[in-house]
Amino acid sequence: MKEHTTTKRTRGASTPAKNFMRPRLVTKTLLTVSLCCALLACVKNPDTEESPKTIINNVNIVDPVKGLLAQRQVVVQEDKIVYVGPIDKTKAVDSDTIIDATGQFLMPGLWDMHVHFLYDEALTDTMPELFLRYGVTSVRDTGGDVKKLSALREALKDAPAPRIYFSGPLLDGEFVVYDGTDPSRPPLGVRVLNAESAMNTVSALKTAGADFIKIYELVAPATYNSLVAAAKEFDMPIASHVPLMMTADVAGPAAGSMEHLRNIELACAANWQELLTQRQAAITGFTEGLGYALRSGLHTAQRVPAINAYDETRCNEVLDTLTNTIQVPTLRLNTVLMLKPFERPDWPSAATALPQKVLENWQARITMLEANRLTIDHTFANWSQFLIARLLERGVPIGAGTDTPIGLGIPGYSLHTELELLVAGGMSTKQAIYSATVTPAKFLGLEETMGQIKAGMAADLILLSENPLENIEHSRSIINVMSRGSWVD
């Protein structure tokens, strides 16, 4: 990470908006306007009965579809963008806030498609603020207790926080990987054993407010199909790991997204059929023990051998079945032991935002990793990076997600690392931005209202000092973030 972006970020964060507000026309500070809109109903203009507008002039729009749109005016009212186009001077009234953003860049708020608010409850309360600080205005929580997630979303309804879309628990098989037995692994999963429990579980999740479902690795193939049917019945998108008793080309097409690129390597091996038979026998024959141990045993036994037996023709056949299934590679997670984000120059200042207890815990893990570094195998990390170009060539959609806070993922900060890794893997800067804006909106069927800067869309915006289309690292040059129509200060 280059030092200059860190410096600018800090500078921008400490003096938001000061240098680009036009004092003559500004009737309130941004902070007052934000608080006013967040906590009370915005004061309406008595002449027009309209809520005050935020008008951003002369800004360069970073459009994930069209690229750079220079010198536009963007008008925000309440939580929506109401106008994007040439500067229209008639639009401003006295109660509006006008910002001159000459030379600056406005990007749609980013999504992190893979987060876990409940993975480390010492961090849960800090996560919303951190997401917003880094411009992550929407997240998909891909596994956790549905009641707690629903309560969290409710509690944050009127607070500065990202939009939260959640799945509830990991829907697993007879053995559950995250069953809560080991205190270091939270109880994120539940057992689903047959068609009836699949239907009941998905129905209950829908009632509890879940936006999609998340299927996990030890689910039986018949139950997987039942869950797919139930999700269809209740109109819920599916995020899934590839169940170990299936292959990516069989399970994947039924899902809206698949996570971590994990177990795709098992389907891309020349001997995929033999590996599948072995896994099915191992799972069927497993009668006692921990789901976590069963899964890691299979990963250990098959992952590296499968990558060593990679067959491009076979893999192309697999990838060609996934052109409607978003892959969320979580490259940041897959490469954490190899690329060591904690050695980046901007890591220490980002990590200071973590609660002390979490920071100490992470530091202990970093010390342990350093001690073991010679024995760490990087085959899957390298394969994950390699696969990005293959996905792009075969037209498989890619979404940006981090799995934060798992694997030392600092909320918000780690999404920018993910964007950099996607670009390093072969995506253009525009494709990477698309993967964190339009693609996640599409997963939830929200692409008409989120993901771009257009009239009628959500006012989730990031004002940047530098152009991220030129260099993806500039996504970190944040001056200010707007979430649901209010600036986050």
Q: Which residues bind Zn ion (CB under 5 A)?
A: 403
Closest to Zn ion by CB, 436 vs 469, is 436
Query: Which residue's C-beta sits nearest to Zn ion?
Result: 403
- Using the structure block, give the residue that is written with the tokens 């809520």: 51
Closest to Zn ion by CB, 12 vs 401, is 401
Closest CA to 189 of 332, 290, 329, 302: 290
Contact 463, 481 (CB under 8 A): yes
* Smallest separation, CB 414 to Zn ion (Å): 13
Closest to Zn ion by CB, 257 vs 467, is 257
Closest to Zn ion by CB, 113 vs 339, is 113
* Smallest separation, CB 116 to Zn ion (Å): 6
* Smallest separation, CB 114 to Zn ion (Å): 5
Closest CA to 91 of 55, 139, 116, 44: 55
**What three-state secondary structure class fits 162?**
coil
Q: Read out DSSP for 105-126?
A: EEEEPEEEEEE-TTSSTTTGGG
* Smallest separation, CB 52 to Zn ion (Å): 40
**Residue 413, Cβ density class (10 Å: 0-12 exposed, 13-18 middle, ≥19 buried):** buried
* Residue type (1 letter), 272: W
* Smallest separation, CB 288 to Zn ion (Å): 26
Contact 35, 158 (CB under 8 A): no
* Smallest separation, CB 314 to Zn ion (Å): 27
* Smallest separation, CB 307 to Zn ion (Å): 21
Contact 141, 166 (CB under 8 A): yes
Instruction: Report in angstroms the alpha-carbon separations of 298 from 53, 114, 154, 305, 309.
Output: 56, 23, 39, 11, 16
Closest to Zn ion by CB, 403 vs 473, is 403
Closest to Zn ion by CB, 206 vs 214, is 214
Closest to Zn ion by CB, 403 vs 418, is 403
Contact 478, 463 (CB under 8 A): yes
